[in-house]
Amino acid sequence: MRHEIERFPIDGKPAACEEIRRGHVNATYLITTDTGARYILQDVNTYAFPRTYVIMDNVAAISRFLAAQSGEKPAMISYIDTLDGKRYYDDGRGGAWRAYRYVDNSICLDRAESDGDFYECARAFGMFQNALCDFPAEELGETIENFHNTPERYRQLREAAAENAAGRLGDVRRELEFVLEREETASRLQRMRDAGALPVRVTHNDTKINNVLFDADTRRAICVIDLDTVMPGLSVYDFGDAIRFGASTAAEDEKDLGKVGLDLHLFRVFTRGFLEACPSLTDEEIACLPLGAYTMTIECGSRFLADYLKGDRYFSIDYPEHNLDRARTQFKLIADMEKKWDEMRRIVEEERKR
């Protein structure tokens, strides 16, 4: 039993605890009390997120902003303050715990089971971003500094390769060469951001479908969850990360690379839902959507590869080569995007005109 839940004002006493194995970073538990009330309890990975207070301050700020809006707006998970009024519980041993009420009749999906699921995922993230288009993004803190600063990710990869802390460099020279050859293209969005060519928005930055709650009966999206990486960013980051994960023809850790590619039909489904839900996108942002998919995929692959070289310190793994397998799927997906680049751009333009 996770007794950390008793630091929060809950209904009843904890009676059951089930670990939810979802995501790469935080530990998540479903707590049921003797009254039948259910809560989600999370142990925030403070190695990955050392600035937990920034995460919770960001969530509080955007929650207040959305609550003050009228009309249609995305639902938000409401975290529960601790018994002493804090936004999370610091256990004094490096643990940072937070809690919220379990949303009844809700489900999370590891993969889209239909076009409708992926379309609803697109609408959820598009609506989240659109609802916050007038929020002053500069007021949010960076929960992870330089999170989507691709040139900085390249620097970290080179540093990991030079240090070779886990002694694995000899096994990944081909993968490392693949990434480094594409640095110029992968860094283009950051240069555009630095030049002011793309607006900085409030972005979710982890737009996998398992970060959307769905109604179990209607399969409509209820809200987005896991807001640890909400911070200033580019709209195309959110679009691109969703495509990287959801429009791939294989799992993120698929070992048979022959199964890995970009599903152009799913690319169209997500593009349609995202554009419909986020009409505030500029023409330049829309034109950069394919580049967002490309950039997020190669950046994520570089992060998996760097973590593998460091000895798997950031992402949780199930076996020793897990991060390497994840990196290889991202690089195979990049290779397929390069073959389908013209079709990706055509689909975006067709959906924009709709």
Distance CA 212, CA 226 (A): 9
Question: Does CATH number 2.40.30.60 belong to domain 3-102?
Answer: no
Helices (H), the chain: 52-67, 115-131, 150-163, 173-181, 183-186, 188-194, 235-246, 264-277, 283-287, 289-310, 322-339, 341-353
For 154-211, write each residue's pLDDT tens digit. Answer: 999 999 999 999 999 999 999 999 999 999 999 999 999 999 999 999 999 999 999 9
Which is nearest to 143 in space by CA: 78, 61, 50?
A: 50
Which is nearest to 353 in space by CA: 285, 240, 276?
A: 276
CA dihedral sign, ordered 342, 116, 26, 7: positive
Distance CA 131, CA 208 (A): 19
- Compute the CA torsion angle 232, 161, 164, 153 (nearest 10 deg): 0
What confidence score (pLDDT) does residue 95 get?
83
| C-beta of residue 161 within 8 angstroms of C-beta of residue 176 | yes
Distance CA 234, CA 148 (A): 9
What confidence score (pLDDT) does residue 23 get?
61
What percent of the chain has a predicted confidence (pLDDT) above 70? 98
Residue-range domain boundaries for the chain = 3-102, 115-353
Prediction pTM value: 0.88
Secondary structure class of 18 (helix, strand, coil) = strand
What confidence score (pLDDT) does residue 238 get?
97
What confidence score (pLDDT) does residue 41 get?
94
- Buried b / exposed e along 68-102 (16+ C-beta atoms within 10 A): eeeeebbebbebbbbeeeebbbeeeeebbbbbeee
Class of domain 115-353: alpha beta
What confidence score (pLDDT) does residue 94 get?
80
Q: What share of the chain is helix, strand, coil (3-state, %, to 5)?
A: 45, 15, 40
Q: Would strands 14-20 and 27-33 be described as parallel, antiparallel, or unpaired? A: antiparallel
Give me the residues paired with residue 31 across strands: 17, 39
| C-beta of residue 32 within 8 angstroms of C-beta of residue 101 | no
pLDDT at 348 over 60: yes
For 32-85, write each residue's pLDDT tens digit. Answer: 999 999 999 999 888 778 888 899 899 889 988 988 876 666 777 788 999 999
Which tokens in the block code for residue 63? 């929650």
